[in-house]
Structure 1
Amino acid sequence: MSGEIPVPQSRFRASRQVRGALWSWAVPTEQDSPKLAGVSSSGAQLLGLTRGDFWRDPSLAASVWSGNLRLPGSHPWAHCYGGHQFGVWADQLGDGRAISLGQVVTTSPPGLASPPGLAGPPGLWEVQLKGAGRTPYSRFADGYAVRRSSIREYLATEHMSALGVPTSRSLSLVFTDRVVEREEPELGAVVTRLAPSWVRFGSFELPASRGDFALLRRLADYVIHHHFPELAPLIAEREVYIRLLQATIERTAAMVAAWQAVGFCHGVMNTDNMSVLGLTIDYGPYAFLDAYDPDFICNHSDPAGRYAFREQPRVALWNLVRLAGPLSRLVGQDPEEDPTPETLDAVTKALNSFGSEFSRNYAELMRLKLGLSFEHDSDDMATIVQPFLDLLERGHTDYTFAMRALCDVPLLLTRKGAAGGMEQHIDALAARSDCSRRLDKEWRGDIRAFYEDAYGPRLAKQGVIDERSALALGAGMRLANPRHVLRNWVAQDIIDQADDDVAVIDQALELLTTHAFDDDDSVPEHLKDMAERYAGPVPKWGEGLQCSCSS
């Protein structure tokens, strides 16, 4: 990498403006009393390792994955990038507390949850420590991370992968005895996280903002060669940069569609938190929906709701426009000159494709969740999906619970005279809703009418007319509708328990990955109590929990 991207040779941690380079050497700060707190089995497998490789000597593993012990041949670095934060250009930002140890090449393809061809080249992983201390990009921060936010990111990445969402991954979690000053003093932690690349939209924005178009071109060519190899043969053609933009648009649309389908709210969709590979990165004040509320805001630091749940597709496109600016500069003969009308037309066409790409991906995912076959009724989104979501919004109904409960409805609809079963279903749905007494009876009637007058006839069109076909459809729907998601209250409960017993972290990880789609009777005995509680109603203390950007 050093032969392709220029880098200043200084190893100082002092914050500074870095020009003419996209990364700087960095050295992890020694951590106090590191202790191994978690290892992801699936994350380890991506590097050809096992959990046993870590737990065989947990003290050694903690030293390595806290940054205290340097891996042979490792020359750590921190990325330099800029970004728009809450819509405002913030100039140089960079990895203020993340330090990459190196790139690992394995013989197996990346196990990212993304469509074929969207995960980058086979087996390339950039291994990064988050919370490892100051870098040249720390500014006024200390470079550390606290246990609370580290547990949340460690669990979320692996959970999102299990849900089928394109995402970075986690390898390990290490606790330290360092006291980290935040609103209140907290103990520290280091997460080892993985991605084929940590290049962001802001990685392109910063050199373009400085007029360093030679560096910008080298970055774009590097990304194409290493992460979009299908475009590499076109590198001599300047239109390749439009193709790069188009590929990123398609990946971003697929990612955000998956967010909306599982009810995930990122919370900080700044351009420095957007992966050029279309991966979910930088898990901060994220949340999964409890009640279905399109206006839900998960970030306490976002009172205006710029990054509210319903705004995520719009913000993604806004961010892509910011990326399109730098890339369009590379198409013409002279990047110092404004793009030609032909270039602007090509860029506009690419950006205009985001809406249809998002809608197509979202419709496919929602059809799977509702058990709607693809060869029937192209207007399913308008006649089935959106009306159902509107009912959930009216009732303030638990989104994950409602989608999972829907898996039982095809069978209930085929059982003639089994009104009691349907009434029990609606009772359960109402119990996970927040209808006012005045609306409750009307809402129940509308749910029943939707099932009988819209959803049932639509399923009948695709041959769901008896118990056998309904059981088969319900089983397939359960593979698209998780029973467990990492709600804010669940994450907080795990964080609280981890103070006394770190084993709960990987127990929760097992539930949220291996058993995220399992009913209670399929969950191992040692997880049954946890599974039953975490699939239950939101406790009073957990209602309306929000996180801030502080971590």
Structure 2
Amino acid sequence: MSFRQFSSGSSSKAVATPIPPPLPPPRTPARFTSSLPCDELSALVHEKGEEGGARIPESVLSTPRMVRDAVYSYVHPQDQSKDAYLLSWNKEFAKTLGVDKNKLERSQWSEEEYDHLVKVLTGGARTLSAADYKNTSDGPRLAQPWALCYGGHQFGYYAGQLGDGRAISLYETVNKETGESWELQLKGAGKTPYSRFADGYAVLRSSIREYLCAEFVAALDVPSSRSLAILSTKTQVIREEGVEPGSIVCRVAPSWVRFGNFEIFFYRKDRKNLRKLAEYVTEQVFNLPKDNPEEMTTFAMKNRKNDINMTTTAPEPVITKESATTATEGAAEGAPAAESSPKPAYRNRFAKMFEQIAHRTAIMVSGWQAVGFCHGVMNTDNMSVLGLTIDYGPYAFLDKYDPAWICNHSDTEGRYAFQQQPGICLWNLGRLALTLENLIGAQERVDELEWLELQESDPEKEQHLKEAAQNIIVDILNKNFREVFLKDYRRRMNAKLGLGGPEQVRDEDLTKILVPALSWMDDYEIDFHQFFRDLADYKVQKAETLEENMDQVKQLVKRLLPPVVWQTRGSAAVEESRSWLAAYHTRIVESDELRDDQKRRSKMNKINPAFVLRNWVAQKVIERTTESVRKTREGSQEDDPDKDLLDRVLWMCQHPFGEETKEPTETMDIDACEVKRNNTGLEVYGEFVGPVPEWGQGIQCSCSS
């Protein structure tokens, strides 16, 4: 069997390292580690000591400590490979990742390939120094995995150094066909310098939640990190709930850089490394071009005629404040100043980077609100610069619609309640903007490093930079976050309501239909997801007005209301639904395209999921998978119907909308996941679709989830 070879670009002494299939080949050198400053102490561990001299002990890689002047530290995943085994492999995402098409299925692997994969993903192929590597031949080795150093605001307060306390990036890879870049990361792989008082492990419970939800969120067309594999380890992990089985998730994203990566340099006043990180994100993450010197010079000559020449010893040029206006030529000559518009602002590559981050964050959170997703811990260290949903902890999907729902019982003040999420994203973007003010405020002079250093060394001059950035930042947040969020949210909700594509969105769809309907759902404890599935069955037929269709209205309301609510408040619910349903009915009959009940239903059911990874579903999967793991480890010979449960539920997460079939009783067997249509026409995914059981309503999780 031939292994792919590569050399680590993150050390001056490259190490030839075999990577066995089915894992994709690494990028060499690693773009991230070869571009950004490393924790020097961890780098020294990999260097061969002087003749007879002492070496830095390897234990420093997993010793919690303060890390300075670095974006990352080299670490060694803890070897948990003994008696570890693969619980689930995501073959659908493996294809996206660029895995060899002949190695997508577990049935296509040799026993040796399976063993190598488990070993690599559980730390059994951990890095050794170049000297030690030469004397070792017991399996494939990855070159210098790393953990990120970052800070962050937690529940509104800056918390100092945080970092990857239990996440370790293995390597980067590139899909040769698509050119997409990906970074493989292990969660639960042991201690790092950022573990603080924690053990660096992950329990099976939290690993299952992240493994499934990342794929479910992605299937709902919301930007997310992805899942490649989940493994069971023999590690016994102590948590508040007691001793739990350990697990490792291999999760993947194009980049794991967060808002907090910028914050730690900002609060440490490390402007040099803050700029290095910003340069990396602009060039390598967003592929933004360098600012054109000629363009910047032309802009300066055209718009800054009254500024003095650009030398490091020159007085401070006039820089526009947020509320200031540009002086006229007469004012420059001593005449009274007249009101005029502010000076034009130059948006350099760092402002364009912030535009990208704001835009992507708006798309992400509009998706959350449209699909009823609550993140639970929207700290700035959990915010991706790529606008990806990351760090799945105490998340939840809405059961009954409640805009004030708090899914994290550690969030005692409701800071991250469902309705708060767009505002919190905006607040978090404000924290990120604070770190970039000097770079954005320098505008077309951002590459005059001596000049910029002079400004930053003088508090008064630095304040001018910050004030110059404010108008740019406010404009970006208005146009690239607020406007993008509203536009994308309305697009998503119109599609969920069956009111057509983006070109058919109307202002009254929001004011007369959506907002009143959500308020009605809140008042009558309507299940958020079932609302849209049942609404898809509403038929206008030949009825021109709602009054001609009241029998259907009553049937719809009865299906939507919980039985006890229908019995006590059914008549009021029907009456109060008239306002938004009348507008909805009228909106449909005005369009020949929307009036086709079957086509409208089909389109709605392709974006409103039949299967939802609710907390009660996740809990059932956790319980049954945990029991299956126990049986496997005890060598039980009894039949285990849950042995492939994770694979089956993963398929449901990736295909949550059901299958259209002609016959209500037809059953299809797809990848061992049974998909049916019951006699009401609703696609049923076994036991995990249907009314939320009483015990499963409103389940909350904690930050340790």
Give the TM-score normalised by the residue count of structure 2.
Answer: 0.72
2:244 corresponds to which of 183, 186, 190: 186
Q: Match of 1:458?
A: 587
Q: The residue matched to 1:104 in structure 2 has which SS?
A: strand
Aligned CA distance change for structure 1 residues 412 and 148 (closer, same or farther; 3 Å):
farther
Structure-2 separation of matches of 1:545 and 1:39: 28
Q: Match of 2:90?
A: 40
Determine if the alignment matches structure 1 residue 162 to structure 2 residue 219.
Answer: yes
Structure-1 separation of matches of 2:410 and 2:36: 35
Q: The residue matched to 2:88 in structure 1 has which SS?
A: strand
Aligned CA distance change for structure 1 residues 260 and 55 (closer, same or farther; 3 Å):
farther
Q: Match of 1:64?
A: 120
2:691 corresponds to which of 537, 541, 544: 537
Q: Match of 2:135?
A: none
Aligned CA distance change for structure 1 residues 53 and 410 (closer, same or farther; 3 Å):
same
Aligned CA distance change for structure 1 residues 502 and 143 (closer, same or farther; 3 Å):
farther
Structure 1 residue 381, shift from structure 2 partner: 0.6
Determine if the alignment matches structure 1 residue 439 to structure 2 residue 569.
Answer: yes
1:185-264 equivalences under 5 Å are 185-229=243-287, 231-234=288-291, 239-264=348-373
Q: Match of 2:528?
A: 399
Contact 1:39 1:54 in 2 (8 A): no
Contact 1:221 1:235 in 2 (8 A): no
Moved more, 457-466 or 308-317: 457-466
Greater RCO, CA 8 A, separation 6+: 1
Determine if the alignment matches structure 1 residue 355 to structure 2 residue 355.
Answer: no
Structure 1 residue 345, shift from structure 2 partner: 1.2
Please give the per-residue CA displacement for 1:204-225, whole angstroms capped at 9, x wherever unaligned: 0001111111101111111111
Unaligned runs of 5+ in 2: 1-31, 46-60, 127-139, 297-346, 443-451, 629-641, 677-683
Structure-2 separation of matches of 1:61 and 1:457: 58
Structure-1 separation of matches of 2:686 and 2:352: 48
Task: Give the residue type in structure 2 aligned to 1:300.
Answer: H
Determine if the alignment matches structure 1 residue 524 to structure 2 residue 668.
Answer: yes
Q: Match of 1:114?
A: none
Q: Match of 2:680?
A: none
Contact 2:85 2:118 in 1 (8 A): yes
Q: Match of 1:113?
A: none
Structure 1 residue 312, shift from structure 2 partner: 0.1
Q: Match of 1:512?
A: 653
Q: Match of 1:115?
A: none
2:538 corresponds to which of 368, 390, 409: 409
Aligned CA distance change for structure 1 residues 302 and 515 (closer, same or farther; 3 Å):
closer
2:701 corresponds to which of 516, 525, 547: 547
Please give the per-residue CA displacement for 1:128-163, whole angstroms capped at 9, x wherever unaligned: 000000001001100000000000000000111111
Moved more, 496-505 or 300-309: 496-505
Structure-2 separation of matches of 1:477 and 1:204: 41
Structure 1 residue 4, shift from structure 2 partner: 1.8
Structure-2 separation of matches of 1:322 and 1:386: 30
Structure-2 separation of matches of 1:235 and 1:81: 31
Structure-2 separation of matches of 1:103 and 1:191: 16
1:84-483 equivalences under 5 Å are 84-109=153-178, 122-183=179-240, 184-229=242-287, 231-234=288-291, 239-331=348-440, 332=442, 333-334=452-453, 335-336=456-457, 337-338=462-463, 339-353=465-479, 354-373=481-500, 374-375=503-504, 377-411=506-540, 421-431=552-562, 435=565, 437-448=567-578, 450-451=580-581, 453-464=582-593, 469-483=596-610
Q: Match of 1:78?
A: 147
Structure 1 residue 60, shift from structure 2 partner: 3.2
Contact 2:606 2:657 in 1 (8 A): no
Structure 1 residue 449, shift from structure 2 partner: 5.3
Q: Match of 1:118?
A: none
Count of matched residue pairs? 534
Contact 2:165 2:191 in 1 (8 A): yes
Structure 1 residue 414, shift from structure 2 partner: 5.0
Structure 1 residue 29, shift from structure 2 partner: 0.4
Structure 1 residue 91, shift from structure 2 partner: 0.6
Please give the per-residue CA displacement for 1:100-154, whole angstroms capped at 9, x wherever unaligned: 0011011244xxxxxxxxxxxx310010000000001001100000000000000
Please give the per-residue CA displacement for 1:283-323, whole angstroms capped at 9, x wherever unaligned: 00000000000000000101211000000000000000000
Structure-2 separation of matches of 1:465 and 1:228: 39
Contact 2:400 2:525 in 1 (8 A): yes
Task: Give the residue type in structure 1 aligned to 2:409.
Answer: H
Moved more, 419-428 or 89-98: 419-428
Aligned CA distance change for structure 1 residues 186 and 376 (closer, same or farther; 3 Å):
closer
Aligned CA distance change for structure 1 residues 413 and 48 (closer, same or farther; 3 Å):
farther
Aligned CA distance change for structure 1 residues 439 and 219 (closer, same or farther; 3 Å):
same
Contact 1:76 1:100 in 2 (8 A): yes
Structure 1 residue 352, shift from structure 2 partner: 2.7
Contact 2:540 2:585 in 1 (8 A): no
Q: Which has the larger radius of gyration?
A: 2
Structure-2 separation of matches of 1:507 and 1:94: 34
Aligned CA distance change for structure 1 residues 495 and 340 (closer, same or farther; 3 Å):
closer
Structure-1 separation of matches of 2:110 and 2:171: 23
Aligned CA distance change for structure 1 residues 37 and 54 (closer, same or farther; 3 Å):
farther
Structure 1 residue 56, shift from structure 2 partner: 4.5
Aligned CA distance change for structure 1 residues 420 and 54 (closer, same or farther; 3 Å):
farther
2:105 corresponds to which of 51, 72, 75: 51
Contact 2:607 2:657 in 1 (8 A): no
Contact 2:190 2:199 in 1 (8 A): yes
Q: The residue matched to 1:490 in structure 2 has which SS?
A: helix
Q: The residue matched to 2:184 in structure 1 has which SS?
A: strand
Unaligned runs of 5+ in 1: 110-121
Q: The residue matched to 2:227 in structure 1 has which SS?
A: strand
Structure-2 separation of matches of 1:319 and 1:310: 15
Aligned CA distance change for structure 1 residues 141 and 55 (closer, same or farther; 3 Å):
farther
Q: The residue matched to 1:234 in structure 2 has which SS?
A: coil
Aligned-residue CA RMSD (Å): 2.3
1:22 corresponds to which of 71, 92, 116: 71
Contact 1:414 1:465 in 2 (8 A): no
Moved more, 470-479 or 124-133: 470-479
Structure-2 separation of matches of 1:449 and 1:383: 8
Q: The residue matched to 2:35 in structure 1 has which SS?
A: coil
Structure-1 separation of matches of 2:357 and 2:564: 39
Structure-2 separation of matches of 1:410 and 1:204: 52
Structure 1 residue 535, shift from structure 2 partner: 1.8
Structure-1 separation of matches of 2:372 and 2:660: 20
Structure-2 separation of matches of 1:227 and 1:177: 37
Structure-1 separation of matches of 2:172 and 2:617: 33
Contact 1:101 1:127 in 2 (8 A): yes
Give the TM-score normalised by the residue count of structure 1.
Answer: 0.92
Structure 1 residue 350, shift from structure 2 partner: 1.3
Structure-2 separation of matches of 1:413 and 1:322: 54
Q: Match of 2:20?
A: none
